[in-house]
A and B are shown apart, each in its own frame.
Chain A
Amino acid sequence: MLDFGVIVSNFKFLIVQGLFGWGGFAGGTLRLAIPAIALGFVLGIFIGVARLARSRWINLPATLYVELIRGVPLVMVIFWIWFIVPQLLRLPIPEYGVALTAFVIFEAAYFGEIVRAGIQSVPRGQVEAATAVGLTAAQTMRFVVLPQAIRNMVPALVTQMIVLFKDTSLASIIGYVDLTKAAQIVNNREIKPFELYLFIAVVYFAFTYAMSRFARRFERRLTAA
């Protein structure tokens, strides 16, 4: 019957290797999720700003990018990168590189929409005032609009970060050893699927729930300020 000892005996592999990614070979949910969130957000800022650009040559490609990516499943994007990038560069790319590229490209479209909504939430008068005191368009964006926009974006951003954190489990499809793949590997040896998958469900839950709790506290502090 149920035997949760399997988790204790494989704890080091599941958590140290699968979740954090410390140790011998490349892997780890957090080692993939943290750079993916950071890079996806940075690319998302550019896309969000580009969508609002006045020039059609800038906003049309950005809009097409967002609409295209948002109409396609993440699994499909991962397969695209997996097949296409090695063909283009003519050299084998490790799973980590493929997964990171796919997540950044995919999530940037969603982050871009959040950034766009955040920028649009800043009152027009702020831009006019910044122009009036002599800031250039780039300075206005950098010093006036973005700081306020980011503040308004925090709830949606954290939700998207949680989504991305969960999405990293799909990297296991191409063989990247994250928490999900680690559980699969242990299960192939021990055949304890119920215990193992329930355990990693609880681990994922602990992280995402903590993130959403933290976001709620942070939000309250921001509105108080």
Chain B
Amino acid sequence: MNYQFNWSVLWSGQSGVWLLQGLITTVEISALAWVLAAALGILSGALRTVPWKLARALATFYVEFFRNVPLLVWMFFWYFGVPPLLPRAVQDWIFNHSAEFWAGMFALGVYHGARMSEIIRAGILSIPRTQFEAAMAMGLTTFQAYRLVIVPIALRLIVPPATNDSLNLLKNSSVALTISVAELTFQTRQIETYTAKAIEALTAGTVIYLVLCVGIAAIMARVERRFAIPGLIARGG
């Protein structure tokens, strides 16, 4: 191989700033999408276990349809497919307010919400049924039983699998480069285009992703120990 390494391209010129901007955008889009995914996941995960048939059917449809279609297709759908159906004024407004970022965030959040939902449902189903019955016997409504008893216990049980999928969300945010969100992978490509130094640029991006993933995993391992319920051990993939 006849390749001239030149690592200084990573800190000379604009590269450093681009990488930093990319990192910030990746963290921003992932964090917002994570909040959306957690909200949708908790809501639909809980609805899939309640004794109301229509609510269960709607939540099941959401989960099965959204998690079984590639994220890339959802990115295109939300960015190219949906805006033309909106009124002209709304279209103009969103395309002046970084539409690609919001479409990407929405696609990522809705997609991972469906996956989070499965994790939360599994967590709820692993709680002994007697907890729910006891809550009912205390005179709580179904809604109160979920809000005060079932969901809080489930959230403490699912820390390991939820961490795993949160890291998937972070990594999947790279798909947003297809709708030209200037996140980390996008910026890596940009450095490659400007400097023609593919190996250096890709190494920089790869190392940043690795550090992010390993760092978050380490923090969450401590959170897991802190929130584990003694006697109730739920281990998952």
Contacts and interface: CB of A to CB of B under 8 A. Distances in A.
Q: Which of A68, A74, A79, A196 has the most CB of B within 10 A?
A: A79
Q: How large is the interface on A (under 10, 10 to 19, 20 to 34, 35 or more residues)?
A: 35 or more
A76 B177 CA distance: 11
Contacts of A196: 81
Contacts of A204: 68-70, 73
A88 B2 CA distance: 9
B69 A201 contact: yes
Contact of B82 (A73, A80, A194, A212): A194
A164 to B, nearest CB: 11
A65 to B, nearest CB: 13
Contact of A184 (B76, B185, B189, B214): B76
B83 to A, nearest CB: 9
Contacts of B64: 205, 209
Nearest to B192: A83
A208 interface: yes
Nearest to B65: A205
A72 interface: yes
A73 B214 contact: no
B58 interface: no
A84 B198 contact: yes
B156 to A, nearest CB: 24
A194 B214 contact: no
B70 A72 contact: no
Contacts of B213: 70-72
A79 B210 contact: no
Contact of A73 (B76, B77, B85, B174): B174
B12 to A, nearest CB: 20
Contacts of A76: 174, 185, 188, 202, 205-206, 209
B178 A73 contact: no
B232 interface: no
A156 interface: yes
A74 B71 CA distance: 12
B68 A83 contact: no
Contacts of B174: 73-76
A198 interface: yes
**Main SS at interface, chain B:** helix
B56 interface: no
A187 B79 CA distance: 13
B72 to A, nearest CB: 4
B84 interface: yes
Q: Which of A72, A88, A173 has the most CB of B within 10 A?
A: A72
Interface in A34-84: 68, 70-76, 79-80, 83-84
A186 interface: no
Contacts of A197: 73, 76-77, 80-81
Given A71-B213, A208-B68, A83 B178 contact: no
A169 interface: yes
B172 interface: yes
Nearest to B214: A71
A166 B70 CA distance: 5
A198 B68 contact: no
Interface of B: 1, 3, 64-65, 68-74, 76-77, 80-82, 84-85, 171-175, 177-178, 185, 188-189, 192, 198-199, 202, 205-206, 209-210, 213-214, 237
Interface of A: 68, 70-76, 79-80, 83-84, 87-88, 156, 162, 166-167, 169-170, 172-173, 180, 183-184, 187, 193-194, 196-198, 200-201, 204-205, 208-209, 212
12 contacts: A71-B213, A72-B206, A76-B202, A79-B189, A88-B1, A183-B76, A194-B77, A197-B77, A200-B73, A204-B70, A204-B73, A209-B64
